[in-house]
């Protein structure tokens, strides 16, 4: 059988129209991402809070790598980064995972 004998594919939705790919939903929810951080090596990950807007500012190598990976995707990922303190004044990694599991 040659490729000229094949019929066009039937795509999801029972259509012969090729899907256009991912489209950003209008008014959709943002992906909420917990950012585990603890004081220490700030070149790797630093979380600060703007004193005026109270918005969190996340910087550092791991954040840069994450943002570059998202930039390679062919679709946007609306997201909100939420800091999750780890250590004596915060929680544990197990508590972070438990919070994710219980969502």
* pLDDT more than 70, % of the chain: 92
Cα–Cα distance, 91 to 45 (Å, whole number) = 17
Query: Is residue 3 helix, strand or coil?
Result: helix
* pLDDT more than 90, % of the chain: 26
- The closest alpha carbon to 59, from 48, 75, 69, belongs to 48
Would strands 46-49 and 31-37 be described as parallel, antiparallel, or unpaired?
A: unpaired
Per-residue confidence (pLDDT) for residue 22, from 0 to 100: 63
**Tens digits of residue pLDDT in 24-55:** 666 678 888 989 888 888 899 999 999 999 99
The residue count of the chain comes to 103
Cα–Cα distance, 40 to 28 (Å, whole number) = 36
With a cut of 90, say whether residue 96 has pLDDT above it: no
């Amino acid at each position: 059988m040659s490729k000229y004998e094949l019929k066009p594919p039937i795509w999801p939705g029972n259509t012969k129209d090729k899907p256009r790919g991912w489209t950003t939903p209008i008014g959709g929810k943002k992906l909420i991402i917990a950012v585990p951080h603890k004081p220490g090596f700030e070149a790797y990950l630093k979380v600060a809070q703007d004193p005026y807007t109270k918005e969190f500012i996340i910087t550092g190598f791991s954040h840069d790598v994450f943002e570059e990976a998202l930039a390679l995707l062919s679709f946007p990922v609306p997201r909100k980064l939420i800091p999750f303190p780890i250590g004596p004044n915060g929680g544990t990694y197990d508590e972070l995972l438990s919070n994710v599991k219980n969502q």
